[in-house]
């Protein structure tokens, strides 16, 4: 299926009766767009419809994401690291949209920024964390030096995020652990703790992640695969 035909089909889907319900989807590593009327598994993100608790979409916060998307389209600093973001996404199995969202919220793509707590670079990683997720080759250099290198910083962050996703099984919990620490999240049952700073961080990252997924889904997809539930809904709709 060509990208043009896929785009037209997605437009038809979005204009159908499904636009009054929900549409969930994701694009897999082979470029296949999977669509369903509900979240079949954790890969699926809400593409169309009203957000529900636990959907990963933050309601009432679209303007900020829209402004950030515009900035990401034109910012030289964001464009410069795209090759390394794509590389890290492929190697570590983390969505490039999620990596982009974290960097935008953490550092605004300033590769040289250091926080008062000592977190460094694009993904704001501490030296201790960098040593934990360093490869043998990377560990030959001091953490402070590695983290000022954008490519190494991104790969370190991608390894960390992949590990947190495996440990907690939820993106929001992984992001909370990134911000507040694994121990804090575990003390609250593996959920986002009631810490305003952490909640704000998670919400901002998820908001931008959602907006980036919305933008990239039709563009990335090379094929389309509809879940049985969505096919049934479409057939019923056309039969009316």
* Active site (catalytic) residues: 106
In three-state form (DSSP H/G/I as H, E/B as E, the rest C), the secondary structure along the chain is CCHHHHHHHHHHHHHCHHHHCCEEEEECCCCEEEEECCCCCCCCEEEECCCCCCCCCCCCCHHHHHHHHHHHHHCHHHHHCHHHHHHHHHHHCCCHHHHHHHHHHHCCCCCCCECCCCCECCCCECHHHHHHCCCCCHHHCCHHHHHCCHHHHHHHHHHHHHHHHHHHCCHHHHHHHHHHCHHHHHHCCCCCCCCHHHHHHHHHHHHHHHHHHHHHHHHHCCEEEECHHHHHHHHHHHHC
Burial (0-12, 13-18, 19+ Cβ within 10 Å), 162:
middle
Q: Yes or no: say if 56 and 206 are a contact pair by the CB < 8 Å rule.
A: yes
Tell how strand 23-27 and strand 45-48 pair up: antiparallel
């Amino acid at each position: 299926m060509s990208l043009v035909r896929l785009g037209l089909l997605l437009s038809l889907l979005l204009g159908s009766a499904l636009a009054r319900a929900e549409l969930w989807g994701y694009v897999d590593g082979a470029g296949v767009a999977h669509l369903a009327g509900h979240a079949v598994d954790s890969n699926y993100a809400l593409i169309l419809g009203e957000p529900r608790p636990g959907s990963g979409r933050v309601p009432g916060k679209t303007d900020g994401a829209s402004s950030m998307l515009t900035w990401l389209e034109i910012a030289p600093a964001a464009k410069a690291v795209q090759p390394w973001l794509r590389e890290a996404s492929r190697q570590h199995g983390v969505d490039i949209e999620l990596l982009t969202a974290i960097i935008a919220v953490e550092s605004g793509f300033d590769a040289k920024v250091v926080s008062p707590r000592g977190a460094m670079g694009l993904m704001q990683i501490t030296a201790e964390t960098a040593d934990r997720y360093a490869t043998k080759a990377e560990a030959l250099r001091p953490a402070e030096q590695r983290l000022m290198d954008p490519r190494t910083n991104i790969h370190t962050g991608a390894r960390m995020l992949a590990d947190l996703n495996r440990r907690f099984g939820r993106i929001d919990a992984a992001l909370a652990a990134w911000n507040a620490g694994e121990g804090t999240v575990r003390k609250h049952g593996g959920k986002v703790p009631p810490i305003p700073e952490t909640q704000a961080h998670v919400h901002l990252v998820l908001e931008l992640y959602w907006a980036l997924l919305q933008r990239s889904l039709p563009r990335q997809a090379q094929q389309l695969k509809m879940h049985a539930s969505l096919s049934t809904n479409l057939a019923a709709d056309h039969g009316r």
